[in-house]
Amino acid sequence: MKELSLEVITPSKKAYEGSIKSITLPGTLGSFQVLFNHAPILSSIEIGEITIIDSDGKEKHYSVGGGTVEVLKNKVLVLAESFETPEEIDIRRAEEAKKRAEERLKAHKSDCDLDRAEVALKRAINRIKVSRKYS
């Protein structure tokens, strides 16, 4: 069986544990896929979308809030700030967050607020995108 074991850990729980055929991650230098016998890698990942093909060959999609991934000896460890299925995403909350962030960007008070609003906006848009695409 050419399978990898995957573990996804978020601040609130162990979000995924199981064997998979492949995983596609939004790396900082671009999206990349990890298959069986991938070279050891440690990479930071951005806000975006993770696609997993599980051991039954089923494709699963998740929204991810940035973090790191480590691949070693066919073990994949993802540390992510958030990890949600399209069904888990609270679309209303994401829309609200988007609106708030946009307002703050328009008001542009200080640099620190701008950075924060930008990240919040990215996160919200990503959630909305993933949720729309797969549900």
Q: Give, as ranges, the residues between 19 and 38 that touch other proteins (CB under 8 A).
A: 27-29
> For residues 103 and 97, what is the distance between their CA atoms, to the nearest angstrom?
10
The answer to whether 107 contacts other proteins (rule: CB under 8 A) is no
Minimum distance of other proteins from residue 55's CB (angstroms): 23
Give the binding-site size for other proteins (rule: CB under 8 A): 28
Going by their DSSP bridges, the two strands 75-80 and 4-9 should be labelled as: parallel
> For residues 114 and 111, what is the distance between their CA atoms, to the nearest angstrom?
5
Which tokens hold the place of 1?
């069986």
Among 22, 24, 63, 82, binds other proteins (CB under 8 A): 82
Minimum distance of other proteins from residue 57's CB (angstroms): 27
The answer to whether 112 contacts other proteins (rule: CB under 8 A) is yes
E strand segments, 1-135: 4-9, 14-27, 30-34, 41-54, 59-72, 75-80, 83-84
The region, left, alpha or beta by phi > 0 then psi within -120 to 50, assigned to residue 90 is beta
Among 72, 90, 95, 108, binds other proteins (CB under 8 A): 72
Q: Which residues bind other proteins (CB under 8 A)?
A: 9-14, 27-29, 39-44, 66-68, 70, 72, 77, 79, 81-82, 112, 115-116, 119
